[in-house]
Amino acid sequence: MPQWQTVDAKQRFSELVEAAGAGPQVIMRHKEPVAVVLSPDEYRRLVRQADANFASLPARSPFAPGEAEPVGISLSSSG
């Protein structure tokens, strides 16, 4: 992914936004990524993908329904 230093991203913001249309743009500060600029289409795609993954989470669980309880919380009536 293309990388931009924060000072360059600030000075060339319009160019950064335009480049995001071609793919994610990583903003770097002191050699560390601090942000990613995405096009609206890419953002929506990622949100749909995350929603689909979350919705299928119970089906991918290694536990049978009712087998797992939240840590520190008893769901039984005797607890």
Binning pLDDT at 50, 70 and 90, where does residue 52 land? confident
**Residue 78 has what pLDDT?**
56
- What is the architecture of the domain spanning 3-56? 3-Layer(aba) Sandwich (3.40)
Distances (CA, A) of 39 to 23, 43, 45, 62: 7, 6, 10, 36
**Residue 68 has what pLDDT?**
64
What is the model's pTM?
0.66
- Residue-wise pLDDT for 57-73, tens only, equals 677 777 776 666 666 65
